[in-house]
Amino acid sequence: MQQDLVHAIRSNPKYHELVSKRSKFAWILAAAMLVIYYGFILIIAFDKAFLAQPLWTGSVTTVGIPVGIGVILSAFVLTGIYVFRANAEFDRLTNEIKEEVL
């Protein structure tokens, strides 16, 4: 019985659509996070003076602090974007597959 269910799910075109969309979207978000993170690391490696500049004259806080916070917040934002799409589109497709197979 279990093998029949697995075969029915894997032969469903909506399953292939779900896997394709989810994988593509996950890779796009992963690439975006890698660009953000490694961009920050490259700035640290090649232009420390930029991140060491004060935000304004006489400021103790440097440009690196808000940029670093931005890197951290971008991870939360990208996670939120994934969760939003997963709840909206991926869960709908999953439920449609369940209804068709069961």
Q: What is the pLDDT along the chain (102 residues), one digit of tens a residue?
A: 688 889 999 999 999 999 999 999 999 999 999 999 999 999 999 999 999 999 999 999 999 999 999 999 999 999 999 999 999 999 999 999 999 988
Here the tokens at position 55 are 């935000």
Orientation angle between helical segments 13-46 and 91-101, nearest 10 degrees? 160
pTM: 0.83
Assign 62 to helix, strand or coil. strand
How far is residue 28's CA from residue 34's CA, in Å, rounded to a whole number? 10
